[in-house]
A and B are shown apart, each in its own frame.
Chain A
Amino acid sequence: MSTSLFNPQTFHRLRDRAMATLRAGEHLTLSLAGEQSQFIRWTQAKVRQTGTVEDFTLELTYVLENQGVRRSNQLQIQLSGHPATDDMRLNEALQTLRRETPEMPEDPFAVIPQNHGSDQKVFRSELLQPESAAEILAKPLKGLDLAGIYAAGPVVRALATSAGQTLWFSTETFSFDYSLYNSAQKAVKSTFSHSEWDANAYARDLERARKQLELMDRPTVDLPRGEHRAYLAPAAVAELLPTMSWSGFGESYHRQGVSGLKRLREGARLSPLFSLHEDFTSGLVPRFSPSGEIAPEKLTLIDRGQLVNTLVSARSAGEYGVPSNGANATETPRSAAIDSGDLDEKDILQRLGTGVYLSNLHYLNWSDRPTGRITGLTRYACFYVKDGEIVGPLGTLRWDDTVYRMLGTELEALTKHVETSPAVGTYFQRELGATRTPGALLRSMRFTL
């Protein structure tokens, strides 16, 4: 049953059925999101919970235009995979939209869909069979204390508009996001994700993590609060991005005065070493926006410290009279990439000298959004380094510092190597995409507790 929802023809049938009913002044966008996923949750290298989820939803965005006045409404329905049931739900949704929308207040910025071109992308992969996945994953875990989540299966995103556009993106992915623990509750983190299952790569990933865990056996070093030199590994740099993206890059946030990076729009700059792009060249995430616009393959947001572009959705384009660049509704990066620098991986510890080596960060939040200050904690494999040598794992430290210092005045170097951090979030549905980030050497970072 449900596999039919991964067939573009099923979506085309729903599309044709909906669009055939449209009357003058009605505009419609259909957005399909679906997954057929296996989740295996691990603790102590054993299975805590295991299951599958099949979940497909169809969102209808309806705009009614009458003598220049626009009104809008959205409804999302659950798809069952049974044509009769889904057709009935689609019909009921259209009836509800037609009944409610004429009474809604005018929405001058409602987006009328345009035809930005149709496309179909299908990515297939060799994933583990669900029935045997647990045993295969467990094989090399003997003697390890591992906690984590294996998520695998196909994911689809599709869109069709009354302007005649149809877009389809489906992919088959897996990720094993895990951490390893020693007897003192110290841990290291890894995310194993490939386009195809590769047992040798899996073993190598575990071995790398296991070796890093040996360093966590050394006595813990508790540093006093204050300013310390710091190296943020690529994963730690990647962990800055979600908080920065929460209001940071959206045109609407800047216009409304509530962006966490508002000072960049007012003339402040980050380090000339720092450039950030919305970069879709990896192909891991669809480029189309909820209104069917195709985002540029690469859009520079910050160029050598200067904010040169914001993310502009179709709605913001209408409200503020600026060109859209195919941003999503929340105007957050979907495929962020930070340019690399010239710091060799083998030189990191020596260049750091005496300071802290941070593999990961935890629980970040804006602590003072208008001034760009973010707080968070250290987590997993974080070390005190003295004279270029790792001394031991760091006791948990809270930091509280501004973007304008960390990626601005205090940014000393970025690494030559970059790492890809796949999106592993699964709130409501499995996320797509990844960020690509180098490591960052900071002259100083403020630790407050």
Chain B
Amino acid sequence: MKNLKDALTQKPHEADWAGLREVREIMRHRVARDGKPEQSHAWESHGVMAEVLVDGQFGYAATADLSPSGLADALQRAAAQARGSKNLSIARFDLKARPVVQGRYQGKAVQGLSTHNPAEVMSRLIELCARMKTSPKIVRTEAFALATTTEVRFVSTNGSEGEQFFDLITLDCNATAQDAGVVQTRTGAGMRGLSFQGGWEHLFSPELTTRADRVAAQALELLAAEECPTGAMDLILMPDQMMLQIHESIGHPLELDRILGDERNYAGWSFVKPDDFGKLQYGSTLMNVTFDPSVEGEFASYAFDDHGRPATREFLIEKGLLKRPLGGTESQLRAGLPGVANARASSWNRAPIDRMANINLEAGNSTLDDMIRSVEKGVLMESNRSWSIDDFRNKFQFGCEYGKLIENGKITRTVRNPNYRGITVPFWTGLKKVGDLSTVGTYGTPYCGKGEPNQAIRVGHRSPACLFSNVEVFGGA
């Protein structure tokens, strides 16, 4: 921290404010396929983003040269960037855009990721592959671990001094089965859904072994399953598909920079307007959605965002009514709306923008059995495998790996290639039952993509199982 604070003394004379955000990240990526090592890769990313405010315009310069002269040069380049655009600013900012933060956050891990033995990790992944190879019809097995240690330090000329430390892990085990021209793949929880703050205890847990066994069994089961039926019917989504539903049709549309139009050229806009907050009935009164950075072990928990705002739990949607956008300090100032502490950057080489963090659907009162019993005709779907939504976040389509037909209140048969499509607000208005705590699952993904230049960032989603009515469901080609 000392070298960062020393470097701030080199703030360009014209600057009203300067900040330095240092990120050091070590990522270890191990993959085994069909019982052999496929990939063993570790990489370190280490640099600083220098940011400067000149006449209301921020400019930044990201550098991996952490020497005193390197940081001083970066501050000068940042100032030049700000200077070159100050007559073209979309908004004139002042120090209110950079609150003062002082504090420290340490994410929890039982077996810290720095206690890393790559051979042991790879052996475990090979073992999981071997467990999944239970039949000649299993033609491909894969086990994956992405372990990341991240250190973030932030100082600024108005007194910020903060540091955060994270251990993050993403796991997967998947199996592909093939027979008589039918191919089915089953994963642990959809693509990279098993994402947590924590350590190697997740990789070596009995729970992952059980999950691998289930993956193999269900991949084979899907070969003999019938196609998912087509029609409008009730739909129960399990938490590892609720994750994508929340992500695409709540998280992204509520990002305030998107509502303000910043993302139009890439990820898109939103059907939500600034005037909708406090007025728009987004979904049924059973729907309660929070931005919650305080959940221990959830993938995107943290103490403060990259603009220095302390992170607190806030309701985004309460009893179905839209309350608050996902907007960090800059967007709040531009829009005149309250927001959350979500200005985050993927690394030192990108500027913070409004991101999801942990976006959670709060538990309700129904057991899974309650939900199933209430369905005359419907499908239960698990584990996302396909996702797509329009640029205003209305028309979506999702595909899942595994489905169960529900008839007259009972689970009857397995179905394969379950898909559904819908439009955001009518879909959430059809939320009929929300699962209780016994149905809750916590997932995440390291690959939420957005921004120009592009950034992939970690997000978390915790949700119960949910029942929706009158959803357009369909099967494979």
Contact = CB atoms under 8 A, between A and B. Distances in A.
Contacts of B386: 365-368, 375
B88 A402 contact: no
A363 B388 contact: yes
Given A52-B61, A377-B395, A74 B40 contact: yes
Contact of B183 (A57, A75, A100, A262): A262
Interface in B34-81: 36-37, 39-47, 49, 57-67, 69-70, 73, 77-78, 80-81
Contacts of B183: 257-258, 262, 370
Contacts of A258: 140, 176, 183, 185
Interface stretch (A12-20, A132-140, A203-211, A276-284): A132-140
A269 interface: no
Given A48-B262, A50-B81, A448-B421, A78 B36 contact: no
Nearest to A39: B453
Interface of A: 1-2, 37-44, 46-57, 59, 72-82, 85, 100, 103-109, 130-135, 138, 147-149, 151, 177-179, 181, 185, 187, 189, 256-258, 262, 362-368, 370-373, 375-377, 379, 396, 398, 400, 402, 425-428, 430, 448-449
B453 to A, nearest CB: 4
B65 A57 contact: no
A85 B176 CA distance: 46
A54 B139 contact: no
B399 interface: yes
Contacts of A179: 264-265
B392 interface: yes
Contacts of B265: 42, 147-149, 177-179, 189
A398 B84 contact: no
Contacts of B176: 256-258
Given A54-B62, A147-B261, A362 B390 contact: yes
B40 A72 contact: yes
Interface stretch (B118-126, B154-162, B232-240, B307-315): B118-126
Contact of B70 (A46, A80, A372, A377): A80
A50 B264 contact: no
* Chain A contact residues: helix, strand, loop or mixed: strand
B85 A50 contact: yes
A65 B280 CA distance: 64
Contacts of B60: 49-52
A187 to B, nearest CB: 7
Contact of A81 (B65, B388, B423): B65
Interface string B1-40: 0000000000000000000000000000000000011011
B395 A47 contact: no
B351 interface: yes
A26 B54 CA distance: 53
Contact of B57 (A1, A47, A74, A262): A47
Contacts of B87: 135
A362 B119 contact: no
A257 B66 CA distance: 47
B304 to A, nearest CB: 20
A379 B269 CA distance: 12
A181 B264 contact: yes
Contact of A55 (B83, B182, B349, B392): B349
Given A53-B350, A106-B37, A189-B265, 7 more contacts: A49-B351, A82-B65, A177-B452, A362-B268, A368-B386, A375-B386, A377-B395
Nearest to A75: B42
A132 B389 contact: no
A59 B41 CA distance: 9
B36 A105 contact: yes
Contacts of B61: 51-54
Contacts of B392: 396
Given A50-B82, A80-B66, A104 B122 contact: yes
B123 to A, nearest CB: 6
B99 interface: no
Contact of B264 (A38, A52, A135, A187): A187
Interface of B: 36-37, 39-47, 49, 57-67, 69-70, 73, 77-78, 80-85, 87-90, 117-119, 122-123, 126, 139-140, 176, 178, 182-183, 185, 260-266, 268-269, 349-351, 353, 386-392, 394-395, 397, 399, 417, 419, 421, 423, 449, 452-456, 472, 476-477
B100 to A, nearest CB: 22
A396 B62 contact: no
Nearest to A132: B84
A363 B389 contact: yes
Contacts of B454: 425-427
A75 B85 CA distance: 39
A362 to B, nearest CB: 5
Contacts of B182: 370
B41 A76 contact: yes
Nearest to A71: B37
Given A257-B183, A398-B395, A79 B452 contact: no
Nearest to A37: B453
Contacts of B119: 100, 103-105
Nearest to B116: A100
Contacts of B84: 50, 130-135
Contact of B452 (A100, A149, A187, A371): A149
Given A57-B43, A178-B265, A44 B67 contact: no
B368 to A, nearest CB: 27
6 contacts: A43-B260, A54-B63, A105-B122, A147-B264, A362-B391, A372-B477
B367 to A, nearest CB: 32
Contact of A371 (B85, B423, B472, B477): B477
A46 B264 contact: no
Contacts of A373: 476-477
Contacts of B40: 72-74, 104, 107
A76 B44 CA distance: 6
Contact of B47 (A55, A77, A148, A187): A55
Contacts of A39: 452-453
Nearest to A86: B64
B388 A364 contact: yes
A242 B140 CA distance: 23
Given A53-B62, A105-B126, A396 B81 contact: no
A365 B351 contact: no
B169 to A, nearest CB: 19
Q: Which of A132, A133, A189, A373 has its CB near the most chain B CB atoms (within 10 A)? A: A373
A51 B81 contact: yes
Nearest to A366: B386
Contact of A427 (B42, B43, B85, B456): B456
Nearest to B43: A76
Contacts of A106: 36-37
Per CB-CB distance, the 10 closest pairs between chain A and chain B, nearest first, are A76-B43, A51-B60, A426-B453, A149-B452, A103-B119, A371-B477, A47-B85, A74-B41, A46-B90, A147-B264
A127 to B, nearest CB: 14
Contact of B477 (A51, A82, A368): A368
A56 B269 contact: no
Given A135-B88, A376-B388, A402-B477, A56 B351 contact: no
